[in-house]
Structure 1
Amino acid sequence: MERVVDLKWNQERIVASIHYPEKRGPYEERSDESSSRRIPLTVICHGFIGSRIGVDRLFVNAARRLASEGHIVVRFDYAGCGESTGSYGDLGIDAMIEQTQAVLDYALSCGDVDPQRVTLLGHSLGGAVALLTAVRDQRVKRLVLWSPVAYPFNDIVNIIGRARYDESIKRGETDYAGYSFTPRYFDTLGKHQPFQEAARFAGDVLLIHGTSDDVIPADYSFLYQKIFWMRTDGQCDKEIVFQADHTYSSGEHRSVVFERTVEWLNQWEQRQKHWAHWSI
């Protein structure tokens, strides 16, 4: 079952789609007997000027695949993107972190979500936002990062072009793909350094990146892995998808991404059950 909900963040309306596992509809519609087993939550964070749909329905298909494995999945539009209200180019990373936390607030208020099995799945800039959120919010237990941004300011300026950034500084705004970007947006990008903060996340991490990604280099995932490996807590795994592009547009590549993500999450679930058994 799937449904669309409107969430509130400041004065903006954040539109989200919720996917429920088979035979698990909205909590308020079920009897007490069916709510006895809590289930994992995965929240999907889209990238720069993206939406909860994803390029070629990337996030729709990912959510349905995860729901088929027993997850409640929430995918949402950041303010100013997709169907959500707001001005995306006048906000920035701080606002996206707050919005991600607002989505977590809502999702964890559902009585059937297990608060110990919460995953953020982020793609591109959404990967950086997911990481920065997880560092600040202990409710996040796992991270799945697809083609994650590592240097928000440099990476986004490379995408829109230096001339547009300069125009924003000189004139107070610039246009890119129909979005108006102000200096405030770029200021928030420069404020955050995911590489420097990554070691503060103590949970498990899965990194996935394509070798033919010409937007965000695959080298970033190798560097992220080195940082995560230096932690005293938490494991980190990496999957490099040969010849895959930034959005995994090939059906074969997309299948690899989905299956590896599901496999990794299921392995984590099995480890948790094993540890729970030995702790009894």
Structure 2
Amino acid sequence: MERAITIQHGSIELKATLHYPATAGEQTGNQGGHCPLIVICHGFIGSRIGVDRLFVNASRKFAAAGYMVLRFDYAGCGESTGDYGEGGLDSLIEQTRVVLDYALDIDYVDINRVSLLGHSLGGAVALLTAAQDRRVKTLLLWSAVAHPFNDILRIVGQNTYDDAVRYGTADYMGYTFRPPFFDSLAAHQPFAQIRKFSGDVFLAHGTSDRVIPADYCSLYQKLFWMRTYGQCDMEHIFQADHTYSSGESKRELYDKTLNWLNYSEKRKREWHNWEI
């Protein structure tokens, strides 16, 4: 079952879709009447639908496996009110935490099995949120941005940034951006926040990504492995582009993500209460 909802964030209405897990008899993720939660964070000027329905199909796949899934539009994107980029990355992090507040109020969600799934810039936002919010137990990062300022500048182009600095505002794809947005991108360094998150991490990246370098995936894994706690596993999706636009790329991405989630659950159960 799916339900369209509205999550209030001050004067802004964040539009979202809640995917309920399969019935108890069909679930693989349900334990003791409580189900794990996945919150999806879309990328730069994206939406909760995703390019070629990336997040719609993912949510349905995960819900069929027993997960509660919540996908939402950041302010100014999709159906949400407000202006995208207003308040910079700090606002995106705060919006994500507000969505977590809503989701964790659902009484049959397992508060000990909460995952943030972030794609592209949403991957950086998911990591930055998890570094601040201990309610997040697991990260699923698809084609994650590693250097927000440089990566977004490469997408919008130098002229857009120069116009914002020179005139105080710039247009990109119908969205209005001001210097404080770019300043916030430069102020946040996801790599520097990795050690603040001690949960398990799954990384995926397409080998044919021409938007965000696939090399970021390996670098992320190396840095996550330098932590004292938490596992990190990585998958490269062969010939997949930034948005996993082919049917085969999507299927492989979804299957590998879900297989890793199931394996991670099994690993935690087997090692529960063990210490080395």
Which TM-score band (shorter chain)? Answer: over 0.9
Letter paired with 1:51: S
**TM-score of the pair, normalised by structure 1:** 0.93
Are 1:136 and 2:132 an aligned pair?
A: yes
Number of equivalences: 270
- After alignment, is 83-92 or 109-118 more displaced? 83-92
Cα offset for 1:272?
Answer: 2.5
Equivalent position of 1:18 in the other structure: 18
Q: Which residue of 2 aligns with 1:27?
A: none
Deviation at 1:278, TM superposition (A): 6.5
Q: 1:152-191 residue pairs with structure 2 within 5 A?
A: 152-191=148-187
For residues 262 and 277 of structure 1, the distance between their equivalents in structure 2, rounded to whole angstroms, comes to 25
Residues in 1 aligned to 2:67 and 2:2: alpha-carbon distance in whole angstroms? 12
CA RMSD across the alignment: 1.5
Do residues 66 (structure 1) and 57 (structure 2) align?
no
Match of 2:116 among 116, 120, 125: 120
Question: Aligned AA for 2:20?
Answer: Y
Q: Select 1:55's aligned residue among 42, 51, 57.
A: 51
Q: How far apart are the structure 1 equivalents of 2:90 and 2:112?
A: 25
Give, in angstroms, the shift of residue 35 of structure 1.
11
Q: Is the 8 A contact 1:128 1:150 kept in 2?
A: yes
Taking the aligned partners of 1:225 and 1:161, their CA distance within structure 2 comes to 28
* Structure 1 match to 2:142: 146
Question: How far, CA to CA, are the matches of 2:16 and 2:86 in structure 1?
Answer: 21
Distance 1:7 1:189 in 2: 25
Looking at structure 1, the residues matched to 115 and 86 of structure 2 have their Cα atoms a distance apart, in angstroms, of 28
Q: Is the 8 A contact 1:203 1:233 kept in 2?
A: yes
Residues 149-170 of structure 1: CA deviation (Å, up to 9, x unaligned):
0000010011000011010011
Q: Deviations over 1:205-231 (max 9, x none)?
A: 000001110000001111100100111
The structural deviation recorded for 1:36 is 5.7
State whether structure 2 residue 245 is matched by structure 1 residue 249.
Answer: yes
1:144 alignment partner, SS class: strand
8 Å Cα contact 1:6/1:16 also seen in 2: yes
| Alpha-carbon contact 1:134-1:140 (below 8 Å) kept | yes
TM-score (norm 2): 0.95
Runs of 5+ unmatched residues, structure 1: 25-33
Q: Report the AA paired with residue 238 of structure 1.
A: M
Task: Classify the secondary structure of the residue corresponding to 1:90.
Answer: coil
Contact 1:150 1:193 survives alignment (8 Å) = yes
The residue matched to 2:76 in structure 1 has which SS? coil
Supply the distance in 1 between the matched residues of 2:85 and 2:172 (Cα, whole angstroms).
9
CA contact (8 A) 1:90 1:180 kept: no
Describe the superposition over 1:12-45 as per-residue Cα deviations: whole angstroms up to 9, x where unpaired: 0001100001237xxxxxxxxx996111000000
Q: C-alpha distance in 1, partners of 2:97/2:125?
A: 11
- Structure 2: unaligned runs, 5 residues or longer: 25-29
Q: Secondary structure at the match of 1:118?
A: strand
Give CA deviations for 1:179-228 in whole Å, capped at 9, x if unaligned: 01011111111110001111221000000001110000001111100100
The worse-fitting range, judged by mean Cα deviation, of 70-79 and 89-98 is: 89-98
Match of 1:93 in 2: 89
**Partner deviation per Cα, 1:64-108 (whole Å, 9 max, x = no partner):** 000011000000000010000001032321001000000000000
Report the CA distance shift for 1:277/1:138 in structure 2 as closer, same or farther (over 3 A).
closer
Q: Distance in 1 between matches of 2:97 and 2:44?
A: 18
In proportion to residue count, which structure has more helix? Answer: 1
- The separation in 2 between residues aligned to 1:169 and 1:90, in whole angstroms, is 16
